[in-house]
Amino acid sequence: MFFILTVALLTAVYLVVGALERRPALRFRVLTAPRPYLATDIAWYGVAAVATALSVFVFRPVLSAASIAPLADRVGDLPLVAKLFLGLVVFDFVSFLVHMGLHRSDVLWNLHKVHHSTLELDGFATTRAHMLENLLRFVPGQLVLFLIGMPAPTVALTVGLAAIYGVSNHSNLDIRAPWIEAILVTPRLHRRHHVPATTQNNYAAIFTIWDRIFGTLVRTDTTNDERYGVPGEIDTYPQHFTQAVREPFHQIRQPPQPTRTAHVGEDPDRVSETTASP
């Protein structure tokens, strides 16, 4: 029942954010209407729902048996609010490390490209992610939460809140609040991650402290002429669902190809090519 309620709530959040981010007073950019490749992102949403079901009904019962005493005993005695806050901090940090790994591993980057392939950044693009990436992104964080003694309901609530926050971060909402960015990730910060020139920045999903510690935080505004997409493959990466499902495996089987590197302020389609590591 909790799983059904979570999916229903997340769907409601999608619809609300989708309506708000298209209002002239709230939007960052004018989004294309009708939205291109909406069917693709609906299919990816279905994939995310299946991955979540696997996490809840298959992995979570196994992971919940893991714990480190006496740490688990101390965490278990905390008030619910404290457990929830601790859970969000720990889950977000593990997710940050996993996300960084997805970018810095050649094999994992081929999986993660699916998420970066969206050409318009809005709430509906949040769950555009390969099924294997969904498991890589959510299982490690839950394992750590269970290891430190978080009860299953708290873990479920933590993951649900992180997913809802992710929808807001991928949205087209024009939120300008520097004081919030001192602590929390905003759509303004996360859209820099989807701009090819700064894809290797702003990995965090909830708290900005992780990017500050690792020196990967970029706070520059995104201009209207900057495009979203896979660096070097903006116009070539498959946008249709069935092709995108196969593309990571196709690229993994290929020999190392020249890969483009870009830094802040550079055009990723004009920078020099360097050979990818094997």
Tens of pLDDT, residue by residue over 191-224, are: 999 999 999 999 999 999 999 999 999 999 999 9
Closest residue by Cα to residue 223 from 197, 200, 184:
197
- Between CA 87 and CA 77 the distance in angstroms is 14
Q: How many helices (H) and strands (E) would you count in the chain? A: 12, 2
The three-state secondary structure class of 252 is: helix
Give the pLDDT mean for 54-75. 85
- Between CA 116 and CA 193 the distance in angstroms is 9
8 Å CB contact between 86 and 75: yes
Q: What is the pLDDT of residue 244?
A: 96
Judged against a pLDDT cut of 70, whether residue 100 lies above it is answered with yes
- Between CA 160 and CA 83 the distance in angstroms is 15
Q: What is the pLDDT of residue 274?
A: 34
Closest residue by Cα to residue 21 from 29, 13, 10:
29
The residue ranges of every structural domain in the chain are 2-275
**pLDDT band for position 52 (cuts 50, 70, 90):** confident
